[in-house]
Structure 1
């Protein structure tokens, strides 16, 4: 169902569904919009649309464009556009088939939208995130989660009265029930989808909803309503429908002719729909239409063609894990072989069904196995009774006993093998746990040493800062006071007076330098006001020096409680990274960003300097970089360095349980 959900996701990615062959004109049009945009925000919106479309042609380049857009949105503090970029990055991965990555990004987008002020942008973003997550879960065969997220999205779109989104959201929701053949429930959601059609711009999507609802009407005995819907889709079909809409249109007429007992006419319609499905290159519709065609061929007594299309449907469905649909196809085919008396083939298909579903729906498969086992035991018992009545009872009982004995032997051997394997597995697991525990103890030992060193360093810095400020600072201030007093009691020549003034100036400079050193060793703002204020002051001081323009951004740090030792460690990490930028990067600007969410803290330091080859870090023996690594390890954090010569440097750190 990739394209159905994709068209839904494109609705949320700021531009409408288009045919694949129309991509180049769309890109040209978006490129013109980008060049003509007057504001940065509008330009970024159009660039997001362009990047998502371009990723369909060149995935890596499209993804790279979104990365650049995210950075620019972050630099310019466009929070909503940054969330939009993350949401659309999830769409790019979704289109590639990486649904896990898509879910991760959609969940990140959800968190970003939740941070926005209350309003339609936040609501729409959350609705889009939920629906995209639901779409990914649907294609991962996790229909329970898909339903939960679809409904969460629908609730939001109902709240903001977004008819365009609701038209598609209810359409997608119906497919959960279509795939498990809960036709009446699917019909309810399709009717809800159609009810939002008159107020939307997407007549093509309305055509799809009406077509699907019409097809289901002929399955659930609502033929009169189905015929009315056919008249409606005939009108909509005149407006240059997309390829996907043609698939639904011909499928609906196929169901109508099948209901009207015109199987040959129904076959013609389904073959047309099948042809469009292959042109559309979506396996979901190929499976669906091949199944419909196979059923009609069997009804027309053309078993060879019927088997060919049913096999194509099963093979394609297995390749793409369309579990619910395969289950129904296999069940239907089993019934066909039972009816024609080919019990061997029917039994083989039943085994195939069990093997295919066992790993994906354990509970459902368990119940099915119990049902098949109860039927099998009942049939087996009846067969034994009939055999005992028609043949020699003693001979049959002996054979049965021998078979039972063989089963017991085989079962005992299998049980012994399983016990042996479990014993060996437990032994290896204990061995691995012991090795893991030893490694953990080593790490704990190293962390203890690191903690002691860092605490000792912090204490020594505090002591030295206090000694400098209270001791040497007081002494120098006393000398300055004495000299000022002396100046008023002495009569000096002009030259001596100038020399005296220079001495006082030098003394002032010494006092300021001493205070700067003491502040650097243990910032007063860090002790009194916490990490956020200390980092803000540090970046301000760097800016005042004129050596580097540093932008500081923090999220979630206001009123956040962070342990003193942790605050000092993070402050020292940022301080060391900015000092490295000053010394080595030849940068003009840098960004320091700190984000706290619950117990998670992330720190990012970026610059636009000359960059370097990150492989050199493994050979680096510098004390500064070693201190950074030790402090990150001390906080049990993760460190990621991204840099290339001539492209600046980005250092990202993540800490949990902060």
Structure 2
């Protein structure tokens, strides 16, 4: 064995011995980081931004260490949300952007949705760059629709409506408002009901529907007051005051503007208090440091154990150098296996070539059958008819009824009839003119007699037409199977059932004949089944034959339908 191949195998074994313990450690570390990240989220939701930031940064450190893009992006989003809550919008924007960079490397559409939405919020409500904000809102909507998050779809549509209305583009915002009005009751959130009423009020103010506008504005103010939703309540007072000012109701406009200023001042005070709380981080940092150090020491201990285990595995690899003979045998077996796979691949190719040859032969037979039928009908039959007409003209003109002429006419008529019957057998007129289902119905009627009755059941409209070659192939497959029943089954009754399902034609042929043993079916002769199977394989279909002695036979066929090519006519909108 070549030395470089032995070296490669040794490296593979080193990897094999190292992977299980490393994977286990990584799994445990991931679980711990996720737990820290979840605790940070809980602290943020409770308004403990200081604790949340410390835990988030610890989780971020370890997430970067194990290179988990999904976790890194999630933690960046949490850090950004904390600064958002502290009204540190520039910092929030920075971390949201970093989070989106890592989220785009994952398949986490829900996380991409949140990050795009948060960036859109900052562009619209802090930076006042509405065009960029709307771009990120639309990206957020795209991801929420991909993840099928109904509540988030409603929420993002609301943000888009607000952004468009804020810059006076009411017609662009209206489709999103219309969507929210339709689905908010089913998928919306109580926290957005105030904003929804305010937006409806703004739209009706724009459309100069004062009665509706007043109802929506008053409803928004009422719900905002009851739910203590100060931010949306302040905007509701502000937009209502603008509406009242437009209606020259200066007194009430002033009152609502005064309420807007009052609530806005309260919100500003709360914002300043939140910023002041950041200073409190230093007072609590010692307490949290102990907690962080404990987690960090645990992580380092596990890392040390992992290094020791890897070192031990490397020593094991040294022993493997003494069993090169075993590796040589393994390589030999591998080579043999590769050769066997190549041989099997060659056999598959040969089998495919054989199948292609059979398919070409079948297609050629069908084409020749069609050509011969056409030639007999259009040429030979026409010639015989012409000869008969000439004889009739001759006898009429010469007033003779010689026996030889009478016999000649009879022979010509018999030949004409036989040519016609042969032409119809090769290519039935009903099949060519009216389609597969009329032809099969006629076939069942022709084959029915006092000995055997063929019943025809179809759940597809009889006038349905498919591709001409498809109909021809299916007709002769079914005809061959019916002939087999007549010749071999000794049945008194047979059923032909046809239906469509998922663009496939399903055919079931049953008889009450003598049947046969399925296990010995391969030794039976005269059934022409191999030819039938080859035709069905050519159509990419399946055939299943089920039979029992003295219990009849059932043949089930399913073939993908080849439809006729349709010429579509363009539809012009009505004027």
TM bucket normalised to smaller: 0.3 to 0.5
TM-score scaled by length of structure 2: 0.38
TM-score scaled by length of structure 1: 0.33
Q: Per chain length, whose mean CA-contact separation is higher, i.e. which structure has more relative contact order (CA < 8 Å, sep 6+)?
A: 2
